[in-house]
Structure 1
């Protein structure tokens, strides 16, 4: 059986992983709260080791950076602070940016604002400020903004759903300005049954989240949004 040329091209693209990229140096700073830190995963790595491996296996140099160390992976560095709300995540991110100068930031934040019902209506604006402050540093950075996993508390989960619905609009606002922001819809691959304690995903869900971040970074790379790293390798703790 022979495929028409157009169908053959599609088949080859699907087989070869058309969105994969290689030869890049990705200095990635995972930013957020306890989910970013890896709480709930059996080895404490969360999605970070999966993301690292997906990108590295394509033939890229990957360095995870941050002041926090969590898990047993050989690149344990991150900016995930358990219990942090959006304003605190922003403060931590601003402290870390000049130290680590990432060319990719993976951002997952807002769960604690929903759990503690901190000005739910203002959550999208606080997310916008985090991203805007990251992008205002002089070097070029791709920001990958994630939707939140669900929550086992029904009231918190309703706020999570409302916040998640607003996130694509936040990303689009930056895209309309020509700025380097992409969406990672991790909510689409995590269910309440995947949570070990009502908030934090299990290992299988974290792996799926890592793939969603990876796919979002592929989108950014396809748009030319992974810049050369700025400055020498940062000093890590």
Structure 2
């Protein structure tokens, strides 16, 4: 594209950041806009609240028997945060939920999921402990690093979390990562339970089963309509204690 007189502007879009080359004559001079690092164009990374309102209103007008509520859409598919602080919904999941008139998990268990699951299964840098906390509703401190399609070997939690943000598995705000919504809570819950059954799990089985028990308890309380802030805090505290015991294995 360089030195081509007929090229005035090139626009490329996709889920992964583009790998830049260091050579002066290669592909290295372009602007990159991501949801976590740049505020410009943030409104185009997903559906805003008002856009989902419009879609749901259209759904109620054109659907005879409505099986999903507006609150369902927010609980299941909202939770991403842009650089400017605006909340975003997963557009694909919202569209499929309204099309099918059914709330469910519409994440595809292939591609990025397989890559991320590898690091969770191997428990690189004790990443399972932090994911267990996030499943209980906690945010975890993280330093986001550059991640591109050529990043093949992730060795730290910050690298793994950076990849998860790019793929849409985590939301990032004010130096912390969290699981954005119920759709992904369920996905990570499945990952953790699946990983714990594999031989790669290096923890003491008895202690890890106790962590899972506390995790299940925390998740149940978190999504209970009758839950109080006191019961939520108590469940999170029990989970943290069990994870700390695990780290001292």
Q: What is the TM-score of this pair, normalised by structure 1? A: 0.28
Larger Rg: 2
Q: What is the TM-score of this pair, normalised by structure 2? A: 0.27
| Higher RCO (CA-CA < 8 Å; seq separation 6+) | 1
